[in-house]
Structure 1
Amino acid sequence: MSGYYFAWACCLALVVFLVVLLRRRRLREKYALTWIVVALGVCVLGAFPGVIENIATAVGVVTPSNLLFAMALILLLAVCIQLSVEITGLEEETRTLAEELALLRFDVETLQGSNAPEGTSTAPDGATTTPDGPTGSSGGSRRGA
């Protein structure tokens, strides 16, 4: 089997695998689209090996395989940059959500503290403390000896 046929078969298998991941919702469309385009491009290069030789000649690269490695390096760099941008956005969103959650917890604790009977306070774990001693969430009194 020629190396071109092997590359072509691998790329078709990759496209099928990506479609399966999309259908199972394990991969989002915005990421899969890039990989499907790359796999289809490599399928074309595998089916028509003269294309990469013509491109290498037009660009001025002596060996077509060097052009493939350079293109692969540029593609991987672009993917790393895209994922870094996504991670940055997710970190910002996570920080914002954590701040909003902290504010909401503060508001809930403040409201619980203002609705508690006089002489009681609410602990952070939700247990109520009275002058007689702590009570659990079941409402029963636990007095120490």
Structure 2
Amino acid sequence: MLTSVTGVVLVACIVELLRRRKLKEKYAFLWVITGLVIIPLGFFPRGVDAVSEALGVRSGVSLVLFMGVAFLFVVSLQLSWEVGHLEEEGRTLSEEVALLRIDVQDLRARLAEPETPAASAEQGDGK
């Protein structure tokens, strides 16, 4: 029963985080599925034993532990990929900011240059 209550609380927390826009949908999907898998485990604890027996695992507890470790591995792998992607994006943005900063400095330098008499005479001829 405690397992099912934990699953319901997990799903409710995820829905609330989604509602408040504190969690992105792409991450919420995985966590909602996890919560929905946890809920029946509390109501049908012998079901895990039946599944583990069908898979050739000695006990349901071992299967749940293995699945938990595998799940955490997948989550860690996905988050590592996200971090790598964000690092690359940050590097690209830093390079673009540096190039824009150089352009702004060049523009300021050109605007700050005093006009030379030749440039003034050319402008005067056009009037």
User: Do the structures match in fold with TM over 0.5?
Assistant: yes
| Residue ranges of structure 2 left out of the alignment (5+ in a row) | 116-127
1:96 aligns with 2:75: no
2:64 to 63, 68, 74: 68
Instruction: Tell me the distance in 1 between the aligned counterparts of 2:111 and 2:9.
Output: 63
TM-score, with normalisation over the residues of structure 1?
0.76
Q: Per-residue deviation at 1:61?
A: 1.1
Paired positions, count:
115
CA RMSD in angstroms comes to: 1.2
1:23 equivalent in structure 2? 19
How many Å apart are 1:62 and its aligned residue? 1.1
Aligned to 2:51: 55
| Counterpart in the other structure of 2:123 | none
The letter of the residue matching 1:117 is: E
1:51 deviation in Å? Answer: 1.9
Matched, 1:35 2:66: no
Q: What is the TM-score when the length of structure 2 is the normalising length?
A: 0.87
Amino acid at match of 2:5: A
Which residue is 2:40 aligned to?
A: 44
Q: Which digits, 9 at most, give the CA deviation of each residue in 1:48-103, with x for residues without a partner? A: 22321111001111111010000000000000000000001100000000000000
Higher helix share: 2
The 1-side partners of 2:88 and 2:113 are apart by: 40
The gaps in structure 1 that reach 5 residues or longer are: 120-145
